Structures are given as structure tokens and as C-alpha cells.
Amino acid sequence: MGWLVTIIVGFVVGVLAKVLHPGKDNLGFIMTTLLGIGGSLLAGWAGQAAGWYEAGQPAGWIASTIAAVVILAVYTRVVKK
């Protein structure tokens, strides 16, 4: 059941990131979900490094969405070239 929740949360975070990031992003369902999961992982790692989260504690929705927007911005810059 944990994987299903991870995928659903990843999709929601990915959709939020796509809404907040300006420009046209041609990402499908799977890439949007991977974007959100990556944002959650990045936010969790950065939060643990900064001392905001303990090991094993999930990152928050806001931090995950911000990290997903950062990943999306980097992705669009790399793909554009």
C-alpha cells in the first residue's frame, strides 16, 4: 500500500509543479508522476541535510512541490538545448 500512496502523492505534487512552473511542459502521466516523486525525494534529502526532518520522516507538500518545480525548471533548461 505504501507504493500506491507514493505514486498518488508523486502525481499530485507533479501536477502542482506543472501548474506553478510557467511555460509549456510536454510531460505525460508517467513523467509527471516521476517528477513529483523526485521532488519529494529531493525535498526529503535537503530537509534532512538542513535538519528540518529526521531520517524516515516524509517531506511536506510545500517542500516537495518547490523541489519538483526546481527539477522541472532544470529539466526544461536541459531539454531546450
Chain segment 34-50, per-residue pLDDT in tens: 888 888 888 888 888 88
**pLDDT band at residue 1 under the 50/70/90 scheme:** low
CA distances from 61 to 9, 23, 27, 44 (A): 9, 22, 21, 11
Query: Domain map of the chain by residue range?
Result: 3-18+27-52+59-79
Q: 37 near 7, Cβ under 8 Å?
A: yes
User: pTM of whole model > 0.85?
Assistant: no
